[in-house]
């Protein structure tokens, strides 16, 4: 298992390093006339109904304001749409298992330790959601 995790980590590092992330930001980041942030707010029922509750139940204690993971790239605010816009930067639809979100959640190089296991239903739900996202396209 350790070597499998190490492999995932390595592959994910390669993927992240080489990722070209068109899908991450969504269309027209500067198009909002209301001065909203440049992160695309997307309707994603699977994320909002299935994935976000898992993250709130298992990760919120550390990854919300005032928690030890507050200053990491994974910060939840309680607003699923806004949080999704940041969380998609932590996933790799081309290789869901190599996503930083899942690697850290399963304890790989994570101060929070192993929060969910690879064989848990939670892992399957998050993995399925990531796999359903549009893959990054490279120019």
Question: Which positions lie near ligand HEC, rule CB under 6 A?
Answer: 55, 58-59, 61-63, 68-69, 72-74, 90, 100-101, 104-105, 110-112, 115-116
Q: Which is nearer to ligand HEC, 33 or 71 (CB)?
A: 71
Q: Which is nearer to ligand HEC, 72 or 125 (CB)?
A: 72
Query: What six digits make up the tokens of 71?
Result: 């200053």
Q: How far is the CB of 48 from ligand HEC (least distance, A)?
A: 16
Q: How far is the CB of 35 from ligand HEC (least distance, A)?
A: 27
Alpha helices (H) in the chain, listed in sequence order: 2-18, 22-25, 45-46, 52-58, 80-87, 100-105, 121-132
Q: How far is the CB of 40 from ligand HEC (least distance, A)?
A: 20
Q: Which is nearer to ligand HEC, 28 or 65 (CB)?
A: 65
How many CB atoms lie under 10 A from the CB of residue 99? 26
CA dihedral 63, 49, 132, 16 (to 10 degrees): -10
């Amino acid at each position: 298992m350790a070597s499998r995790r190490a492999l995932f980590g390595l592959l994910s590092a390669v993927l992240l390093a080489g990722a070209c992330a068109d899908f991450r930001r969504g269309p027209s980041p500067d198009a909002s006339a209301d001065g909203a942030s440049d992160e695309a707010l997307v309707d994603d029922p699977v994320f909002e109904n299935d994935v976000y509750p898992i993250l709130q139940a298992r990760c919120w204690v550390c990854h919300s304001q005032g928690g030890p993971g507050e200053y990491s790239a994974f910060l939840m605010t309680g607003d699923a749409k806004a949080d999704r816009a940041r969380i998609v930067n932590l996933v790799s639809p081309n290789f869901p298992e190599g996503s930083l979100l899942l690697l850290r959640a399963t304890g790989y190089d994570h101060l929070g330790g192993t929060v969910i296991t690879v064989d848990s239903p939670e892992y399957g739900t998050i993995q399925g959601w990531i796999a359903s996202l549009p893959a990054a396209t490279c120019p």
